[in-house]
Structure 1
Amino acid sequence: MPITRKIKKVKNKRYMPGFGITMGLTTLYLSLLVLIPLSMVFIYSSALGWSKFWETTTDPRIIASYKLSFLASLLAALINMVFGVLIAWVLTRYSFPGKKIIDGLVDLPFALPTAVAGITLATLYAPNGWLGKWLPLKVSFTPLGIMIALIFIGLPFVVRMVQPVLASFEKETEEASIALGANRFQTFWKVIFPQLIPATLSGFSLAFARSVGEYGSVVFISGNMPYKTEIAPLMIITKLEQYDYAGATAIAVIMLVTSFLLLLIINLLQWWSRKRYVNS
C-alpha cells in the first residue's frame, strides 16, 4: 500500500505551476492590459450623464460614421473570407515559382505602417494615380476606397487562419471521396469545406474586428467628408482634439458594445458549425 500511494503521488506530481497560480497570473495580466482600460472607457463616458451620452452618440454625423465603419468592415471581411480561402488553398496545395514570395507578401500588411499603406493606396487610386486613372469609378475619397483599405489590412487574418487547417487535412479523405464517385466540386463542398468553416469564421471575425477600429490606413484614402466618408475612429480623434474626452469615450463605448455583440454572434456560429461537424 505505501508503495502504491507513492507511485500515485509521483504520477500526480506536476512540474508546471498549478491551476491556481496560472489562473491568478492570467487574471492579473488580462486585468492590467484589457479589463481595466476597457472599464475606464465606461467610467469616462458615464461623466456625461444619460441625456448627454444619448445626444452625443445619436448625432446624425456620428450615426453616419457608425454606418460607414461597420458596413465597410463587414463587406471587406466578407470579401477577405472568400479570397483568403482561395489564396490559402493555392499556397497550400500547389508548388510554383515565387510561392515563398507570395506567401511573404500576405504578411506585408502586418509589417507595413498603416499610415504608409493609407498614403500609398490614396495615391495609387487617385483620379490621376497609376490605377485610378484607368478605373471607370472614383476610388480615392469614397466609401469604395475605404473598403479597399480595409481589405488590404484584413486579408492576412483569413489566410493565416485557414492555411494550417488545409495543411493538416488528410489527402486520403479526398481520395476516398473521389473513389466513391464524387467530383472535385462535391469533394470540396461536402468533405473539405465543412472542416474549413470554423477557421474561416475565426479569420472573418479577426478581420472584421481589425477593420472596425482601423484609422491609419483609412484616414488618408477616405477624404474625411462629413456624412459621406468619415469613419467612427476619426470622430473619436476629432473629439479628443477638442479635449472632449467624455464624448470620445461615449463613441468608443457604442463601437465596443456593438463589436462585442457582433463577434459574439460570429463565435456562436463558429461553435455551432464545429459542433455540427463533430456530430456528423
Structure 2
Amino acid sequence: MANKRKRHRVLPGFGLSMGYTLIYLSLIVLIPIAFLFLKASTLSLADFWETVTDDRVVASYKLTIYTSLIAALVNAVFGTLIAWVLVRYDFYGKRIIDALVDLPFALPTAVAGIALTTIYAPNGWIGQYFEAMGIKVAYTPLGIMVALTFIGLPFVVRSVQPVLQDLDRQYEEAASTLGASSTQIFVKIILPAIFPAILTGFALAFARALGEYGSVVFISGNMPMKTEIVPLLIITKLEQFNYAGAAAIAVVMLVFSFVLLFLINFWQWRTTKKYQMN
C-alpha cells in the first residue's frame, strides 16, 4: 500500500492561521476601538448626549456626511468611466494615466490639501475663473467635495477595473448579434456584472471621506457651523484636553460608518446573489 504523502501547505493550517488573524485584528482594530468606547463611557449619559448633540457638532456631522456622500457618488460615476476607458481602449499614454489614478494613494494628504487650496483659491490658477463667474470653491463646502473626490477616486477605479477585465465579452457579442443596442448591452449585461464592484468602490470612497483630515483642513477654511468637518472638531477637542468629548464624537461617527457600510455590503450581497441566479 502506497504511503500517502502529506499535502504541503505554503501557509500554516487553519487553526494557526485563524489564531494569527484574530490576534492581529485584535491588536490593530478591536482593542483601539474598544478603548475608544471605554473612554466615551467615562461621560454620563446626559453629558454624552449634550456633547454629541451640540449645535456645532451636529453641523459638522451634516457637512461631513453630505460632502462625503456627494464626493463618493461623483467618484462612482466618473471612476467607473475611467475604469472603462482604461480597460476597453488602447491609446498612447495609457500606462501613465493608469499610474496617475494611484497618485492620491501616494501623495501625502496635507500636500494634496495645500495644492488644491492653491489651485482653487480665489486668486488661484483655476479658482480665479470660478471667482469671475461668482462661484467660490476654496473655503466652502464645494472645496471640501473637491478634496474628498480627489482622495476617493482610486477606490472606485481599482474596484471596477479588474471586474471589467474579467468580464466575458461573448455575452456582449451575442446580444449585439441579436440586435441589442449599445445602451441595452450596457444596461442589461455589463452594468449588472460590475454593479457590485461599483458599490464596493463607493463604500470605500465614502468611508475614506468620512475620516479624511489632511486634504480638507486647508481648503475648507475651518469655519465653525459652516466648513468645519468632524475630524477637525475631534482634533480641536483633543487640543483642549477634552479626550472624553473627542471619543464621544468619534463613537457616533464610528457607529454611523459601521451601520452604513453594513447596509451597503448587504445590498452588494443581494445584488451579487441576484446576478448569479440570473
Q: TM-score, normalised by structure 2?
A: 0.96
Could you tell me how far apart the structure 2 residues matched to 1:22 and 1:275 are?
29
Question: What does residue 55 of structure 2 align with?
Answer: 60
2:90 counterpart of 1:95 = yes
What secondary structure is seen at the aligned counterpart in 2 of 1:100? helix
1:37-70 per-position Cα deviation (integer Å, ceiling 9, x unaligned)? 0001000111112111111111000000000001
RMSD: 1.1
Question: What does residue 161 of structure 2 align with?
Answer: 163
What secondary structure is seen at the aligned counterpart in 2 of 1:97? coil
2:265 counterpart of 1:271 = no
Could you tell me how far apart the structure 2 residues matched to 1:88 and 1:204 are?
14
Could you tell me how far apart the structure 2 residues matched to 1:18 and 1:159 are?
35
**TM-fit CA distance, 1:159:** 0.2
**TM-fit CA distance, 1:29:** 0.4
Match 2:175 to one of 159, 165, 177: 177
Question: What does residue 218 of structure 2 align with?
Answer: 220
Question: What does residue 191 of structure 1 align with?
Answer: 189
In terms of mean alpha carbon deviation, does 96-105 or 264-273 score higher?
96-105
Question: What does residue 122 of structure 1 align with?
Answer: 117
Q: Which amino acid aligns with 1:124?
A: I
1:120-160 per-position Cα deviation (integer Å, ceiling 9, x unaligned)? 11111111111111112100000000001000000000000
Question: What does residue 139 of structure 2 align with?
Answer: 141
Q: Which runs of 5+ in 2 are unaligned?
A: none
Question: What does residue 51 of structure 1 align with?
Answer: 46
Q: Which amino acid aligns with 2:18?
A: M
Q: Which amino acid aligns with 2:29?
A: V
Q: Which amino acid aligns with 2:77?
A: V
2:39 counterpart of 1:41 = no
Q: After TM superposition, what 4+ stretches of structure 1 lie above 6 angstroms from structure 2?
A: none
Could you tell me how far apart the structure 1 residues matched to 2:8 and 2:188 are?
43
1:209-240 per-position Cα deviation (integer Å, ceiling 9, x unaligned)? 00000000000000011100000000000000
Match 2:79 to one of 73, 80, 84: 84
Could you tell me how far apart the structure 1 residues matched to 2:255 and 2:50 are?
17
Q: Which amino acid aligns with 2:85?
A: V
**TM-fit CA distance, 1:168:** 1.0
Could you tell me how far apart the structure 2 residues matched to 1:56 and 1:228 are?
19
Q: Which runs of 5+ in 1 are unaligned?
A: none
Could you tell me how far apart the structure 1 residues matched to 2:170 and 2:146 are?
39
**TM-fit CA distance, 1:14:** 5.2
Question: What does residue 20 of structure 1 align with?
Answer: 15
What secondary structure is seen at the aligned counterpart in 2 of 1:266? helix
Could you tell me how far apart the structure 2 residues matched to 1:221 and 1:256 are?
24
Equivalent residues, number: 274
Match 1:104 to one of 87, 96, 99: 99
Could you tell me how far apart the structure 2 residues matched to 1:65 and 1:239 are?
13
In terms of mean alpha carbon deviation, does 48-57 or 14-23 score higher?
14-23
What secondary structure is seen at the aligned counterpart in 2 of 1:267? helix
Could you tell me how far apart the structure 2 residues matched to 1:261 and 1:221 are?
29
**TM-fit CA distance, 1:22:** 0.8
Q: Which amino acid aligns with 2:97?
A: I
Q: Which amino acid aligns with 1:86?
A: L
Q: Which amino acid aligns with 2:79?
A: G
Query: Sequence identity, in percent?
Result: 62
Could you tell me how far apart the structure 1 residues matched to 2:244 and 2:106 are?
33
